[in-house]
A = this chain, B = another copy of it.
Amino acid sequence: MEKKIDQIEKKHFSSHYKLTPHRKIILAVIIEHSDQHLSAEDIYGLLREKGIEIGLATIYRTLELFVELNILHKVHFDDGRSRYELTHHERHRHHHLVCLSCGDVAEVEDDLLNKLEEIIERKHGFKVTDHTVKFYGYCKRCRPK
Is the pair B132, A127 in contact by a Cβ cutoff of 8 Å? no
Is the pair B132, A137 in contact by a Cβ cutoff of 8 Å? no
Q: Which of B76, B110, B126, B138 contacts A127 (CB 8 A)?
A: B138
CB distance from A7 to the nearest CB of B (A): 27
Residues from chain B with a CB closer than 8 A to the CB of A140 are: 124-126
Mark interface residues in A37-72 (1 if CB within 8 Å of B CB, else 0).
Answer: 000000000000000000000000000000000000
Interface positions of A from 89 to 110, Cβ below 8 Å from B? 97, 99-100, 106, 108, 110
Query: A100: nearest residue on chain B (CB-CB)?
Result: B129
Residues from chain B with a CB closer than 8 A to the CB of A139 are: 124-126
Interface residues contributed by chain A, number (CB under 8 Å): 32
CB distance from A140 to the nearest CB of B (A): 4
Is the pair B131, A136 in contact by a Cβ cutoff of 8 Å? yes
Residues from chain B with a CB closer than 8 A to the CB of A117 are: 135
How long is the Cα–Cα vector from A116 to B117 in the complex, in angstroms?
Answer: 16
* Known A76-B78, A108-B120, A120-B97: A137·B126 in contact at CB below 8 Å: yes
A18 at the binding interface (Cβ < 8 Å)? no
How long is the Cα–Cα vector from A132 to B96 in the complex, in angstroms?
Answer: 10
Residues from chain B with a CB closer than 8 A to the CB of A1 are: none
Is the pair A136, B125 in contact by a Cβ cutoff of 8 Å? no
